[in-house]
Amino acid sequence: MSSEFSIGELTQALEVSRSGYYAWAKRQDQPGPRGRQNAVLLTQIRCLHEEHQERYGSPRIFQTLRQRGIACGHNRVARLMKLEGLQARPKRPFRPRTTQAGSAPAPNLLAKAPAPQAPNQVLGGRYNLYLDPRRLALSGRD
C-alpha cells in the first residue's frame, strides 16, 4: 500500500511509530542468527545428500551431522530438507536375475524330436518323456 499512501499516513493508521516501521523493514532484509545458522546447516545437508548419491534421508543425515560434531535436531534437519525438496531416493526393489544378459535361450529339443509312438520312449537324448494314460511326466537322465 506504500505506492498509494505515504509511509507517514500508513504508520499513523496502524498506530506504530515511523522509526519502528523502518527498524522492522531493515530487519526483514537480513536474516536473524537462526536464519543464518539454517543457511549454513542447509549447505552441509546438501553436501551430505549429494555425497551419498541422494540415498540418505533426514535420519541418516542427522546421524552423520551429529557424528561430525554439528549440533542440530532431527526435526530441524527434516524441516530444512522438506523446505528444500531433498528426499532420499528409494532403493530399487530386488529382482533376482535368472538369466545372463545377451545369452541365447536353450534349444527346444522336444519340438525337434519326432512324436512319441509308445510309452517310455526316449526323446532328445537327455530327457525321458513318460506317456501313460494316467499321467504325464518328464524326468532328467543323468
pLDDT tens per residue across span 9-41:
888 888 889 898 888 888 877 888 899 999 999
Q: What is the pLDDT of residue 132?
A: 62
Among 73, 25, 68, CA closest to 44: 68
pTM exceeds 0.75, yes or no: no
Q: How far does Cα 6 stand from its chain's mean position?
A: 52
Cell numbers for 39: 543457511
Could you give the 3-state DSSP secondary structure of residue 131?
strand
Per DSSP, 112 falls in state H
CA geometry: angle 91, 95, 100, nearest 5 deg? 125
Helix locations, the chain, DSSP H: 7-14, 18-29, 33-51, 58-67, 74-84, 109-112
- Backbone phi, then psi, for 137, in 5-degree steps? -135, 145
Confidence label for 83 from pLDDT (cuts 50, 70 and 90)? very high
Average pLDDT, the chain: 82
The least confident of 70-84, 93-107, 117-131 is 117-131
Give the Cα separation of 121 and 107 in Å (integer): 20
φ, ψ for residue 82 (rounded to 5)?
-70, -40
Give the count of alpha carbons within 13 A of 4, CB side only. Answer: 2
pLDDT band at 122; cut points 50, 70, 90: low
Q: What is the grid cell recorded at 103? A: 545369452
